[in-house]
Structure formats: structure tokens, C-alpha cells
């Protein structure tokens, strides 16, 4: 099934987390031990930290480590061979989803207020380097 949209955000994550939430939603003060901490209107994903590279000093221009967050908006979920690390729901007033951290964010729109979520991740010793988040409207 073709997604309504398929957006990837690849960049250094200087906080080691990616936050997917309703704009201005409260972010949990403490994170769970696993890859994802979820509340009713926020997902916090542990991702590869920007400084997770072989370097003795961080000065001037530098090739920071990156991670990619891919978000797909679907009409409905399909059967998937991968096992999701999270199945849940997000409350998104006005159908808006922000993807970012304390440095910056990307805003996605045209989502259902009650959006079902599935999170998939590729994790190596450096943490999650690729995360896919599938979204589908309330069924």
C-alpha cells in the first residue's frame, strides 16, 4: 500500500534522543530502560548520539554521527515480517506531529487526532541508527 507520505529525517542527534510528539507536548522527565519511552502524546526514541564517533576532541566542523528517523503515514497497517519494538497510539491535537529534539524539529501535518503507531528499529552497539515509525488513523 502506498503511504500518504514517507518522510526521513537524517541528522546528528546531539541529545541522543529523537522526540516525536504533538507540538509543545510534555516530554517525560525520565526515560524507560528500552529504546522507546511512550506517553499518550509523545514518543522519545533513544538514537545514536552525535558524538558517538572515534574522536578525541570536538572542535570546528566535524563529521558527527547520524541516525535516521523515517515516518510513514498509512491508511492502515499491513502485515510486516519485522517485529515492532512498540505498538501504541498517539494523541495529536490538530493532526500535527513534531520530530526533533532541543536543537530543531520538523513538523508533519494531516494526521488523525488519534493515531496508531508502530515503531521498528535497527540497533547496533552505537544505538538506534535507523528507526521507522508507521502511523495509521484510528481504525
CATH number of the domain where residue 72 is located: 2.60.34.30
Q: Is the pLDDT of residue 72 over 70?
A: yes
Report the C-alpha gap between 45 and 31 in whole angstroms.
9
Amino acid 59: pLDDT: 61
Whole-prediction pTM value? Answer: 0.89
Residue 24, in any domain of the structure: yes
Residue 92, in any domain of the structure: yes
Report the C-alpha gap between 107 and 88 in whole angstroms.
20
Residue 98's domain spans which residues? 5-52+62-137
Report the C-alpha gap between 70 and 32 in whole angstroms.
22
Q: Is the distance from CB of 66 to CB of 50 less than 8 angstroms? A: yes
Q: Is the pLDDT of residue 99 over 80?
A: yes
- Count up the domains in the chain and report the number: 1
The whole-number average pLDDT for the span 79-88 is: 90
Residue 84, in any domain of the structure: yes
Report the C-alpha gap between 139 and 136 in whole angstroms.
8
Residue 93: count of CB within 10 angstroms of its CB:
11
Residue 91, in any domain of the structure: yes
Q: How confident is the model at residue 58 (pLDDT cuts 50, 70, 90)?
A: low
Residue 57, in any domain of the structure: no
Amino acid at each position: 500500500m502506498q503511504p500518504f507520505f514517507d518522510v526521513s529525517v537524517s541528522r546528528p542527534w546531539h541529545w541522543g534522543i529523537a522526540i516525536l510528539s504533538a507540538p509543545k507536548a510534555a516530554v517525560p522527565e525520565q526515560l524507560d530502560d528500552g529504546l522507546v519511552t511512550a506517553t499518550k502524546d509523545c514518543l522519545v526514541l533513544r538514537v545514536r548520539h552525535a558524538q558517538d564517533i572515534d574522536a578525541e576532541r570536538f572542535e570546528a566542523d566535524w563529521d558527527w554521527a547520524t541516525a535516521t528517523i523515517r515516518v510513514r503515514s498509512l491508511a492502515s497497517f499491513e502485515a510486516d515480517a519485522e517485529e515492532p519494538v512498540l505498538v501504541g497510539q498517539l494523541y495529536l491535537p490538530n493532526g500535527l506531529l513534531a520530530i526533533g529534539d532541543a536543537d530543531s524539529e520538523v513538523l508533519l501535518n494531516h494526521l488523525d487526532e488519534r493515531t496508531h503507531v508502530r515503531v521498528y528499529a535497527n540497533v547496533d552497539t552505537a544505538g538506534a541508527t535507523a528507526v521507522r515509525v508507521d502511523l495509521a488513523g484510528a481504525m
